[in-house]
């Protein structure tokens, strides 16, 4: 994994836990990154090591609540890995405030909304269809992508 992307993700992820631990502590930082390859794995590792409720678990429960993405025929963890990869690859389009990406994923209309505050990701979510939620920034159209 590219070190710059790794640092970018870690800063965003630890934002959720900033009041609980000093992430600038090299030991904490290295423990969390050891053997970790994705944001989802980092969240699981971090939650397990420091006994926090996991943002990963929250996202897994929320992303497919009411079965809203069963049409993608993938597990919640696969969805999260695809969403995180998409956001990282398209991070140069993100602006302060809420950002909406719209397009088709596996031929189905979907929206990904990412909220940025002070240069950090505060929240992200995958929505069925094209979301009608108002966002601060113009909609970014990504066309058709295929997730496995």
Beta-bridge partner residues of 116: 97, 121
The packing angle between helices 55-63 and 76-89, to 10°, is: 110
Residue boundaries of the structural domains of the chain: 5-50, 52-145
pLDDT (tens digit, 9 = 90+) per residue, 89-112?
A: 888 898 898 999 999 999 999 999
Residue 40 to residue 32: CA distance in whole angstroms: 12
DSSP assignment, residue 82? Answer: H
Residue 99 to residue 107: CA distance in whole angstroms: 22
The SS3 call for residue 17 is: helix
How much is the pTM?
0.61
Question: Would you call 59 exposed, middle or buried from its count of C-beta atoms within 10 A (0-12, 13-18, 19+)?
Answer: buried
Quickly state the pLDDT bin for 7 (edges 50, 70, 90).
very low
pLDDT (tens digit, 9 = 90+) per residue, 21-53?
A: 455 556 555 655 554 545 555 555 555 555 444
């Amino acid at each position: 994994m590219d070190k710059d992307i790794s640092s970018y993700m870690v800063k965003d992820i630890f934002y959720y836990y900033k009041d609980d631990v000093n992430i600038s502590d090299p030991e904490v930082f290295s423990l969390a990154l050891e053997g970790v390859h994705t944001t989802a794995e980092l969240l699981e590792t971090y939650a397990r090591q420091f006994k926090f409720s996991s943002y990963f678990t929250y996202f897994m429960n929320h992303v497919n609540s009411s079965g809203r993405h069963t049409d993608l025929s993938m597990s919640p963890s696969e969805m999260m890995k695809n969403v995180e990869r998409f956001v990282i690859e398209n991070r140069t389009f993100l602006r302060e405030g809420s950002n909406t990406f719209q397009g088709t994923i596996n031929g189905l209309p979907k929206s990904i909304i990412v909220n940025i505050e002070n240069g950090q990701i505060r929240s992200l979510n995958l929505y069925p269809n094209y979301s009608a939620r108002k966002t601060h920034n113009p909609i970014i159209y990504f066309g058709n992508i295929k997730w496995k």
